[in-house]
Amino acid sequence: MNSKNHNLIDVDNAIYDLRRGASVVVDDLKKSFAVVSVELLTQERLDAFAIAGNGNVQLILTGNRLQALGLDISPQHAYSVVCPGGFNVELISLLSNPLTSAKSQKAFQEHLQNIAITQADHLAQSCLSLSKLARLLPAVVLVDMSNDVALPCVSPDSINAYASNAASALTLVSEARVPLDSAEHAKVLAFRPQYGGIEHLAIVIGDIDVNLPVLIRLHSECFTGDLLGSLRCDCGSQLRGAIDVMAKNGSGILLYLAQEGRGIGLVNKLRAYQLQDVGHDTVDANLQLGFDSDERNYAPAVAMLQLLGVSQVKLMTNNPTKVAALTAWGVDVTERVPHAYPANPHNEHYLKTKVEKSGHLISI
């Protein structure tokens, strides 16, 4: 087993621990932090953390989250928030979760004079990145730990390299013929990183000639749109429409990427929907939660194309970012194929936001 695979296992274990409410030790050999997610934090756990850290508890938040709270601060960094009088879970929830603080701006302003905010170091930033990988709110509580504590730990370098390491470790693990309504000559291929991780799928329509540009679509999974037929987005229409077009074309590949909610996960996407229901658009809702407007990573798509022997593509998308991402990874995008569907009363504002704030090439 090489070092990259060891690192993948370390981060996967840390993700599991963070999601079940356990503490994780992040160690760069010079300094160590014990980290817990704010989502599963209880007052009892917070008090124990404060004792372990001699009272020096830090709350790590993204610049996006602090901007959403009204602070004039760079969104490009993570920040350490310290409360000299001590944190309680209510204050942490107020600072980290917009669904508890949407009506509490005045309460936040009252607390503002009692907290200190500084730019977080690289180690604290990696703790926040781990929370994002775990599909939890991007907010963590941490305390300093002694370097000689005999606990399993994960390095910041392993966390920061996780996405690229997982993509490069993808292997084809299973495939089967799956006739579809509009494409009977279809099969589904499953790819998984060696030694565990999230699966990504490829829906292959017809017989692929890799000597010619292949019609493809990068489709991020959308439980609500793809499976339930939600009218809040256009994902279901794009999924089924892409398969229809590929069948009529004679062949094509749809890469079904495990990046729900533009990479924030299903639970956080539902939180974003709650924020949209009180007036935020699809971009602002993500920023309110502390995420970037788009957290997706297209390295898995590139790795899957390489494993399928595809180097030239005709990309079905309205999103120039996808074209740029594939091109940057060395994929020859010979053509962008528009892939838009009519709006409905529930997703019209969503589609307008994609045009106005995310640069999508759609005529509304």
Mean pLDDT of the chain: 92
Catalytic residues: 294, 296
Question: Per the confidence metrics, is the pTM higher than 0.85?
Answer: yes
Distance separating alpha carbons of residues 96 and 289, to the nearest angstrom? 8
- pLDDT tens digit sequence for 58-80: 999 999 999 998 898 999 899 99
pLDDT for the residue 195: 82
pLDDT of residue 106: 63
Ramachandran sector of residue 135 (left: φ over 0; alpha: ψ -120 to 50; beta: rest): left
Is pLDDT at 4 greater than 70 in this prediction?
no
Contact 254, 246 (CB under 8 A): yes
Tell me, what's the pLDDT at 84?
Answer: 83
For residue 51, what pLDDT is reported? 86
Residue 358: both structure tokens together: 């995310």
Q: What is the model's pLDDT at position 313?
A: 98
Give 114's pLDDT tier (boundaries 50, 70, 90): confident
Mean of pLDDT values over 323-331: 96
Domains of the chain: 3-160 (3.90.870.10), 165-259+296-358 (3.40.50.10990)
DSSP string, 144-168: EE-TT--S-EE-HHHHHTHHHHHHH
**pLDDT confidence of residue 159:** 96
Contact 337, 254 (CB under 8 A): no
pLDDT in tens, 193-250: 988 789 999 999 999 999 999 999 999 999 999 999 999 999 999 999 999 999 999 9
Give pLDDT, residue 147. Answer: 59
Mean pLDDT, to the nearest integer, of 37-49? Answer: 92
> Do 57 and 141 touch, CB atoms closer than 8 A?
yes
Provide the pLDDT for residue 109.
65
pLDDT in tens, 244-283: 999 999 999 999 999 999 999 999 999 999 999 999 999 9
In this prediction, residue 52 has a pLDDT band, given cuts at 50, 70 and 90, of: confident
Distance of CA 211 to CAs 136, 208, 217, 300, 310, Å?
Answer: 42, 9, 18, 22, 8
For 169-201, the pLDDT digits (tens) are 999 999 999 999 999 999 999 999 988 789 999
**Does 104 have pLDDT greater than 60?**
no
What's the pLDDT score for residue 15?
95
